[in-house]
Structure 1
Amino acid sequence: MNYLSAENLTKSYGDRTLFKNLTFGVNRGDKVAIVGANGSGKTTLLSILAGAMPPDAGIVSHRKDITIGYLDQQPDLNDALTVMDVVLAGESAQLDAVRAYEHALAHDDHAALEKAMIDMEKLEAWDYEAQIRQILGELGIQDVEQLVGSLSGGQRKRVSLARVLIQNPDLLILDEPTNHLDLEAIEYLESFLNTNNGTLLMVSHDRYFLDRVCNHIAEMDNGQLYTYKGNYAYFLEKKEERELAAASELSKDRNTFRRELEWMRRQPKARGTKAQYRIDAFEDLKEKTSGKRSDGELDLNLRMARLGSKILEVENLSKRFGDKILLDHFNYTFKRPDRVGLIGKNGMGKTTLMNMLTGQLRPDSGKITTGGTVKFGYYTQTELDLPENQRVIDVVQDVAEVMKLANGDTITATQLLSRFLFDRSKQYDFVAKLSGGEKRRLQLLLVLVQNPNFLILDEPTNDLDITTLNVLEDFLLNFSGCVLIVTHDRYFMDRLVEHVFVMEGEGKVRDFPGNYTDYREWRDAQPKKSAAQPDKPAPAVAKNQTPTPVVSSAANTVNATKKKLSFKEIREYETLEKEIESLEQRKVDVVDLLNTGGPHEQLIAWSREIEQIEQSIAEKSDRWLELAEFM
């Protein structure tokens, strides 16, 4: 059953055509994701399909008897309303009953309350109201009476998402639904959409989310829409096949074009009508071969400033806002090359910690000592405040006109922008004309162009396309400085970090060895504590000490019944801690030697030793984690 169909859609902005004569459809039960490069027109297409924007040409039609819910990237909400008022602003008998009940309750109107309760019972709306509060809570909105005008941009997006989900429409259209959600909220949304029987159309760059939720992928590429029936992993496989076939076809077309061009040049100016069909075919072939182009490849091969042995020491760091404790005597010494993920629910203090590390916010107490060679590169959630009437090339030249690459070569601002997939025409566009993803890519460029050696990335995956994310991941894997990352993209974090700081609330920070999935698996394996059982305080992490997962007394009791470590295993556990610490220090020493330079053979030997050390650390850490569960 067809829910949505679009025929021959065309949309242009000025002299730029996003897509032309595009045809697309969504059937009942489909869960479709639209993917593609930044600026390819994904959000524009979604707005047109949702009816929020008209196309220049073409027709969009929806099945008449279905309801549609649409989540915009920048939701327009009434600042004077409360969260609950906004969420209840829908059209249904159940919503009317819940609105009447909430109003009577707020105004202590007993007569109205009695009638509202009867209506709630009749319409079976009690579960509906409980579902509203549950969805809001899962998305991190606890105070339903606060005014929308007091919410942050991320909170507004979550309220809008809750409103759309609560309406339970037949067709759900979502533009970047995981942006501004913490990791647990994303997993809740993932579960919600997987158990919901509705139809879904969305734009997202979250690869785990795409793989687990969607059964169709539609790729925007050079104004065309290519559809694949399957999840994201299937799409990647079939896309590679399509690109290989397209490359082969393009090569054949260009060979034919060269032969026909030679024929055209040999013809006299006054051609007879006999060869007109061949002339027309030549013009079609010319358009076909010139229209196909590669998207280019983002190149982040930029130079890093030298990083000394002393990097960043944090001692007894504490911070609170009012009665809320964000950090309580936090300690850590950063080593090279630390790759740390920072996780925790929204409002736990992740951005606060990063702002203190970079000197933008003062702690209440404690000490932060920064090494003399440290040069921070701070990529923030907030978009840079750039003049909308400034050209892209001028923005970069204001920072530097010439930049050095890792191999010592120098490039101009124009060449650097080209490497960041800003073609010549785009470089001279005004900032106002850039898409959200293109602005974020420009922001990333402005951070990296300053040659930092300690990168702090606050939600770097928001609005960046998947191609850019893949290249950024490769760059960070080869980055020899320190990296501290906050991201809701679980794939991005799993690929990059070696341990995570888990902000658990009340100022507690757990340092867990492993990536996000390792932590979740460990956490989910822990037995649930009873409500009466208090939490054990998280121990402070000592400098250069291998972090130990804190296991509750309940976990000790349960695990003891499962298995009791032998004396030999206890000694192995204690020895592993020392061995891992020793290997980490040796790795730092060898990296320092490698950076000082030397004979070619020696450099190769040091590189191989680093690989062997990293493999040994990984193996010993796995065994240490296995034993830690039973300590």
Structure 2
Amino acid sequence: MAHLLGLESVGVVRGARPVLAGVSLGLDDGARVGVLGRNGAGKSTLLALLDGTLAPDEGRVTRAGGTRVVTVGQSDTLPGGTVREVVHPAAADHEWASQAHVREIHAGLLADVGLDAEVSALSGGQRRRVALARALTQDAEVLVLDEPTNHLDVEGVDWLARHLQGRFGRGRGALVVVTHDRWFLDAVCTRIWDVVAGHDGPGGRAPVPGRVEAYDGGYAAYVLARAERERRAAAAADKRANLLRKELAWLRRGAPARTSKPKFRLDAAAELIADEPPPRDRLELTRMATTRLGKDVLDLEDASLTYPTDDGEHTVLDHVTWRLAPGERVGLIGVNGAGKTTLLRLLAGSLEPTGGRVRRGKTVRVRTLSQEAKELDAVAHRRVVEAVEEVRARVEVGGKELTAAQLTERLGFTRERAWTPVRDLSGGERRRLQLLRLLVDEPNVLLLDEPTNDLDTDTLAAVEDLLDSWPGTLVVVSHDRYLLERVTDHQLALLGDGKLRDLPGGVEEYLRLRREDEASAAPGGSGAQAPGPEDGGAVSGDVTASGPSPAERRAAKKEMARVERQLEKAAARVAQLHEQLADASAAGDVDALARLTRETREAEDVHAELEEQWLYAAEAAG
């Protein structure tokens, strides 16, 4: 494969502190690289080295002749003018409209954005899509994207992943992307660059500069490789290694249902996860939550919400009934403007419905993690530990009593950063502090609105670990598919029609429903109506009346357990036959090879059929 870009022993210094040192990386034609690292580790510095906006203090950056690099940063800095002028500067309409791949980009990113609209008048999400469209329509060998999924909904992330998969193959350029969206990393990237932050030298010695470690595969393969690397390294931090093993245990146990996950060899991780308990004991979780909350939590009863617009009225909810159970963990997805944040405000009590009612249990204590961290403005002058102690000095987590200082360390604050004024924190640090202050207030119902904003993958793993041991009721609004699968048990959707729909098939079912709606709405479409009760849709907006009944869910879980036992036996049989095949091949026994090949094929067919049965049962179990 042709070489496009390279870093040779590159180092970058800021003041007297080395940010990166000894970085040697190569970017070849067809590469799709994901860049990970904690906030402040040097990810943006690495991107600036690649696109040529920063010169290294040592080493050199090599670039093949004629290689053009296009970058989309986080700030979405765009020139003035209309959308048409920004996306296609100095190009006549017939020049770009005649190209199929450009029309595809318009359909995927700009369907609801008028080409004659002024960019300055667009929303943040629309500006993000315009910036992406501007970059994707350019003829460049290397595309560099910094947090491209910010402000995109689930559909937008899905479209972008599919587009990048198809675009960057062998001979078609290379992609470098910084993102905390782990589903996106698995779907798009074939290699990971992990930027490891530098730190102060021990005993007052010179600072240790940051470095970049390279891994093959997407996020799931990266978790495995990194866990094994850290296990072998004597100096690996025990706390981070434990989080990685827990993450790996979840990946292993969810393998049959998560069909989009890369098929890396999980058996190599058996030693790592053999003694790791399940990430969440649902029966224990439900019992604890019921004790704290009582029978009633939050109920929407025939609730409607409309508000006036210039064109009349907009209906957010239309006679919706939804009952949240103690310990329930729900993911909420939907189109932009469908009312996800509005629904959280109804549950929190900061907004009342225009019809029906919201009934709250007497012992319910609701707290909301908003998309903005404005509530921290009141404690901007305080230090991080003091901002936590203001809410509560000590709290019990997972059966252990922790101080505010211990909690801040658990959520990724070093001792130095824990005593930093809140006003001086980065966006990711403010987000972590915002969540921590909510948790120490000991709510029993937690509403999270896009909780992954500004968080790196290590911090996300720590947050998810904390939520695993949290016993209350959880409602999460997020476009992060990995997070939804990780911390919630089932998902619901707002499709913009005022109804709340159960999704037994999760995000994939939501995307299928959206594609069907778009196809029926398009000219020449079938005009088919939205799915009704028989295909898992909501009945008169009542989520409790859709999907499997509790008895059906229990039966499906028993079926899952039965099939899992058969799967283990089938997998063992396949492994045994593969060993026998190897022995027969080494011995040159042609007859045995023919017989064992036939038996192996039959055993693999049985295993595949059992996996399909498990998947159907998992969907029925919710």
Tell me whether the two structures share a fold, i.e. TM-score over 0.5.
yes
User: Is 1:579 equivalent to 2:551 in the alignment?
Assistant: yes
Q: Cα distance, 1:317 vs. partner?
A: 2.3
Report the equivalent of 1:201: 176
1:20 aligns to what SS in structure 2? strand
Q: Does the CA-based 8 Å contact 2:306-2:354 persist in structure 1?
A: yes
Q: Cα distance, 1:342 vs. partner?
A: 0.9
Match of 1:316 among 296, 302, 312: 302
Cα deviation code 1:94-153 (max 9, x no counterpart): x5223xxxxxxxxxxxxxxxxxxxxx3xxx533249835753644664333333333333
In the alignment, the residues of structure 1 paired with residue 348 and residue 619 of structure 2 have an alpha-carbon distance, to the nearest angstrom, of: 32
Match of 2:231 among 241, 244, 249: 244
- Matching of residues 334-349 of structure 1 within 5 Å: 334-349=324-339
In the alignment, the residues of structure 1 paired with residue 356 and residue 28 of structure 2 have an alpha-carbon distance, to the nearest angstrom, of: 58
How has the CA–CA distance of structure 1 residues 146 and 395 changed in structure 2, closer, same or farther, with 3 Å as cutoff? farther
User: Is 1:127 equivalent to 2:98 in the alignment?
Assistant: yes
Match of 1:511 among 502, 525, 531: 502
Report the equivalent of 2:25: 24
Cα deviation code 1:456-514 (max 9, x no counterpart): 11111233222332333343344322111112221221233333221112312212335
How has the CA–CA distance of structure 1 residues 581 and 17 changed in structure 2, closer, same or farther, with 3 Å as cutoff? same
Look up the equivalent residue of 2:211 and give its one-letter code.
Q
Q: Does the CA-based 8 Å contact 2:96-2:102 persist in structure 1?
A: no
In the alignment, the residues of structure 1 paired with residue 217 and residue 427 of structure 2 have an alpha-carbon distance, to the nearest angstrom, of: 28
Q: Cα distance, 1:517 vs. partner?
A: 3.8
How has the CA–CA distance of structure 1 residues 525 and 320 changed in structure 2, closer, same or farther, with 3 Å as cutoff? closer
1:188 aligns to what SS in structure 2? helix
Match of 2:292 among 297, 302, 306: 306
Q: Cα distance, 1:359 vs. partner?
A: 2.5
User: Is 1:169 equivalent to 2:164 in the alignment?
Assistant: no
2:232 aligns to what SS in structure 1? helix
1:405 aligns to what SS in structure 2? strand
Look up the equivalent residue of 1:22 and give its one-letter code.
V
Q: Does the CA-based 8 Å contact 2:39-2:428 persist in structure 1?
A: yes
Q: Cα distance, 1:171 vs. partner?
A: 0.5
User: Is 1:496 equivalent to 2:491 in the alignment?
Assistant: no
In the alignment, the residues of structure 2 paired with residue 336 and residue 583 of structure 1 have an alpha-carbon distance, to the nearest angstrom, of: 21
How has the CA–CA distance of structure 1 residues 148 and 448 changed in structure 2, closer, same or farther, with 3 Å as cutoff? farther
Report the equivalent of 2:589: none
How has the CA–CA distance of structure 1 residues 14 and 500 changed in structure 2, closer, same or farther, with 3 Å as cutoff? same
Report the equivalent of 2:88: 88
User: Is 1:540 equivalent to 2:540 in the alignment?
Assistant: yes
Q: Does the CA-based 8 Å contact 2:391-2:437 persist in structure 1?
A: no
RMSD: 3.9
Cα deviation code 1:236-278 (max 9, x no counterpart): 332233223322xx59xxxxxxxxxxxxxxxxxxxxxxxxxxx
Q: Cα distance, 1:402 vs. partner?
A: 0.7
2:35 aligns to what SS in structure 1? strand
- Matching of residues 452-471 of structure 1 within 5 Å: 452-471=443-462
Q: Does the CA-based 8 Å contact 2:215-2:222 persist in structure 1?
A: yes
Q: Cα distance, 1:326 vs. partner?
A: 2.1
Q: Does the CA-based 8 Å contact 1:39-1:434 persist in structure 2?
A: no
Report the equivalent of 1:445: 436
1:185 aligns to what SS in structure 2? helix
In the alignment, the residues of structure 2 paired with residue 46 and residue 506 of structure 1 have an alpha-carbon distance, to the nearest angstrom, of: 42
Match of 1:356 among 322, 342, 346: 346
Look up the equivalent residue of 1:219 and give its one-letter code.
D
- Matching of residues 180-579 of structure 1 within 5 Å: 180-196=151-167, 197-222=172-197, 223-247=210-234, 250=235, 306-321=292-307, 322=309, 323-384=313-374, 386=376, 390=381, 392-393=383-384, 396-397=387-388, 399-400=390-391, 402-406=393-397, 410-431=401-422, 433-517=424-508, 530-535=525-530, 539-542=539-542, 545-548=544-547, 577=549, 579=551
User: Is 1:50 equivalent to 2:59 in the alignment?
Assistant: no
Q: Does the CA-based 8 Å contact 2:499-2:541 persist in structure 1?
A: no
In the alignment, the residues of structure 1 paired with residue 327 and residue 431 of structure 2 have an alpha-carbon distance, to the nearest angstrom, of: 26
2:233 aligns to what SS in structure 1? helix
In the alignment, the residues of structure 1 paired with residue 482 and residue 345 of structure 2 have an alpha-carbon distance, to the nearest angstrom, of: 25
Report the equivalent of 1:593: none
In structure 1, stretches of 5+ residues that fail to align are 90-94, 99-119, 252-291, 549-575, 585-618
Q: Does the CA-based 8 Å contact 1:136-1:142 persist in structure 2?
A: no
Cα deviation code 1:329-387 (max 9, x no counterpart): 11111111222111112222111211222133343333112222222221122234645
Q: Does the CA-based 8 Å contact 1:577-1:624 persist in structure 2?
A: no
Counting aligned pairs with the same residue, the percent is 35
Q: Does the CA-based 8 Å contact 2:493-2:510 persist in structure 1?
A: no
Report the equivalent of 1:106: none
Look up the equivalent residue of 1:181 and give its one-letter code.
L
Cα deviation code 1:493-552 (max 9, x no counterpart): 123333322111231221233532465578889997543444477522447x3523xxxx
Q: Does the CA-based 8 Å contact 2:398-2:469 persist in structure 1?
A: no
Structure possessing the higher radius of gyration over alpha carbons: 1
Q: Does the CA-based 8 Å contact 1:437-1:464 persist in structure 2?
A: yes
In the alignment, the residues of structure 1 paired with residue 123 and residue 517 of structure 2 have an alpha-carbon distance, to the nearest angstrom, of: 34
Q: More deviation in 10-19 or 214-223?
A: 10-19
Report the equivalent of 1:70: 71
How has the CA–CA distance of structure 1 residues 448 and 43 changed in structure 2, closer, same or farther, with 3 Å as cutoff? farther
2:475 aligns to what SS in structure 1? strand
Q: Does the CA-based 8 Å contact 2:395-2:403 persist in structure 1?
A: no
How has the CA–CA distance of structure 1 residues 8 and 161 changed in structure 2, closer, same or farther, with 3 Å as cutoff? same
In structure 2, stretches of 5+ residues that fail to align are 198-209, 247-278, 281-287, 533-537, 557-612
2:345 aligns to what SS in structure 1? helix
User: Is 1:157 equivalent to 2:134 in the alignment?
Assistant: no
Look up the equivalent residue of 1:149 and give its one-letter code.
S
Q: Cα distance, 1:431 vs. partner?
A: 4.2
Aligned residues: 494
Q: Cα distance, 1:201 vs. partner?
A: 0.7
2:98 aligns to what SS in structure 1? helix
How has the CA–CA distance of structure 1 residues 364 and 148 changed in structure 2, closer, same or farther, with 3 Å as cutoff? farther
Cα deviation code 1:527-580 (max 9, x no counterpart): 97543444477522447x3523xxxxxxxxxxxxxxxxxxxxxxxxxxx73624
Q: Does the CA-based 8 Å contact 1:396-1:413 persist in structure 2?
A: no
- TM-score normalised by length of structure 1: 0.69
Report the equivalent of 2:6: 5
In the alignment, the residues of structure 1 paired with residue 101 and residue 515 of structure 2 have an alpha-carbon distance, to the nearest angstrom, of: 26
Q: Does the CA-based 8 Å contact 1:513-1:547 persist in structure 2?
A: no
Q: Does the CA-based 8 Å contact 2:554-2:621 persist in structure 1?
A: no
2:130 aligns to what SS in structure 1? helix
Q: Cα distance, 1:314 vs. partner?
A: 0.8
Q: Cα distance, 1:621 vs. partner?
A: 11
In the alignment, the residues of structure 1 paired with residue 472 and residue 393 of structure 2 have an alpha-carbon distance, to the nearest angstrom, of: 22
Cα deviation code 1:409-453 (max 9, x no counterpart): 544332221222211112233446544333322222122121121
Q: Does the CA-based 8 Å contact 1:393-1:413 persist in structure 2?
A: no
2:292 aligns to what SS in structure 1? coil
Q: Does the CA-based 8 Å contact 1:389-1:432 persist in structure 2?
A: yes
Q: Does the CA-based 8 Å contact 1:580-1:621 persist in structure 2?
A: no
In the alignment, the residues of structure 1 paired with residue 618 and residue 31 of structure 2 have an alpha-carbon distance, to the nearest angstrom, of: 44
In the alignment, the residues of structure 2 paired with residue 394 and residue 38 of structure 1 have an alpha-carbon distance, to the nearest angstrom, of: 19
Q: Does the CA-based 8 Å contact 1:139-1:185 persist in structure 2?
A: no
In the alignment, the residues of structure 2 paired with residue 46 and residue 202 of structure 1 have an alpha-carbon distance, to the nearest angstrom, of: 9
In the alignment, the residues of structure 2 paired with residue 521 and residue 348 of structure 1 have an alpha-carbon distance, to the nearest angstrom, of: 17
In the alignment, the residues of structure 2 paired with residue 96 and residue 2 of structure 1 have an alpha-carbon distance, to the nearest angstrom, of: 31
Q: More deviation in 142-151 or 501-510?
A: 142-151
Q: Does the CA-based 8 Å contact 1:88-1:163 persist in structure 2?
A: yes
Look up the equivalent residue of 1:125 and give its one-letter code.
W
